[in-house]
Amino acid sequence: MPRLCEDRVVIVTGAGRGIGREYALQLAAQGARVVVNDLSVSRSGEDTGESTAEAVAREIVAAGGQAIANHENVADFAGAARMVQAAIEHFGALHALVNNAGILRDRTLCNMSEQEWDAVINVHLKGTFAPSRHAAAYWRDLYKQTGEPVNARIINTSSSSGLYGNIGQINYGAAKAGIAAMTIIAARELKRYGVTVNAINPHAQTRMTEGIRERSAEEIAARHPRWIAPGVVWLASADSQDVTGRIFELGGGHLAAMEGWRRGPAADPIDDVSRIGPVMRDLAHRARRNVDMKGHDLD
């Protein structure tokens, strides 16, 4: 029986631990040739002095798969270009990019420093843009050369923090909301070349989420990365060419397609400040409630 990602070349960023490691291992088990990218930094972005990318690549090779380690900084524009080029030079092609790398520097708005804001926005938002930009340019040029759809994939990582909003994560949430918007826009732009762009909203128990709140043994089991990786492997495969511009909620007992902003209650336009207040208050009260991190209506 053929494997789902046989001979597809896939870059996974932040693949040294946690969800990214699970992606890399499951992709390789399904026949993908994997570029394991990781800076091997701590949860908050500091150098740890170890090479987790090398360890995962060795694990894949030992199991009979193909993988190379890559240590480029995804938020560095030139570094992201080198990472994409490394995949093409080593394996001869690139078929999918999984943007997974991330850090946390949680703080409430009143207490957040400029450095904490910049660090998280840089890794998540620019670290999704830069690899995607270089991969997209490669696929565009390939399409122009051959005239054939390239059947390529970008899989981004959003979060409930960005889609629903989480107290203490204004930097992380803003980045993840931005990634959701990038996903939808890029899907529209790249469709002509045969590139699909989707994102996931993962619920996983990794070092990124440790200590945020106490969880039961059952919750932790439901948040194992094994519940998330199969969806990402499928999105990276050639089989998913008819799905694009979507965000999927995976893990934590969920398998769902997210639905984005839509126009809610409306009224006739008003150009008088003395009359608009009651109308806007009525619209706000009639609109669907915002939701909490579990997707339930806020009071």
| SS3 per residue for 11-76 | EECCCCCHHHHHHHHHHHHCCCEEEEECCCECCCCCECCCCHHHHHHHHHHHCCCEEEEECCCCCC
Residue 242: CA count within 13 A, CB half-sphere? 1
The first and second tokens of residue 90, run together, are 């080593």
What pLDDT score was predicted for residue 205? 73
Percent of the chain, pLDDT > 70? 93
178 and 291: one domain?
A: no
Query: CA nearest 86: which of 53, 43, 55, 60?
Result: 53
172 and 270: one domain?
A: no
Q: Is the pLDDT of residue 7 over 80?
A: yes
227 and 182: one domain?
A: yes
243 and 223: one domain?
A: yes
> Is 138 among the residues known to form the active site?
no
pTM of the model: 0.92
CATH code at position 26: 3.40.50.720
Q: Is residue 107 part of a domain?
A: yes
144 and 49: one domain?
A: yes
Q: Is residue 4 part of a domain?
A: no
219 and 276: one domain?
A: no
Q: Is the pLDDT of residue 13 over 80?
A: yes
271 and 225: one domain?
A: no
Q: Is residue 2 part of a domain?
A: no
Q: Is the pLDDT of residue 213 over 80?
A: no
| Catalytic pick among 143, 164, 172, 193 | 172
Mean pLDDT (whole number) for 171-183: 98
Q: Is residue 34 part of a domain?
A: yes
107 and 92: one domain?
A: yes
225 and 286: one domain?
A: no
247 and 269: one domain?
A: no
Q: Is residue 51 part of a domain?
A: yes
Domain encompassing residue 283: 264-298
183 and 285: one domain?
A: no
Q: Are 40 and 24 in contact (CB under 8 A)?
A: no
* Number of domains, the chain: 2
Structure confidence at residue 215 as a pLDDT band (50, 70, 90):
low
Q: Is residue 100 part of a domain?
A: yes
16 and 37: one domain?
A: yes
3-state helix/strand/coil string of 155-217: EEECCHHHHHHCCCEHHHHHHHHHHHHHHHHHHHHHHHHCEEEEEEEECCCCCCCCCCCCCCH
Q: Is the pLDDT of residue 249 over 80?
A: yes
Mean pLDDT (whole number) for 92-104: 97
Q: Is residue 1 part of a domain?
A: no
Q: Is residue 15 part of a domain?
A: yes
pLDDT digits (tens, 9 = 90+) for 129-169: 999 999 999 999 999 999 999 999 999 999 999 999 999 99
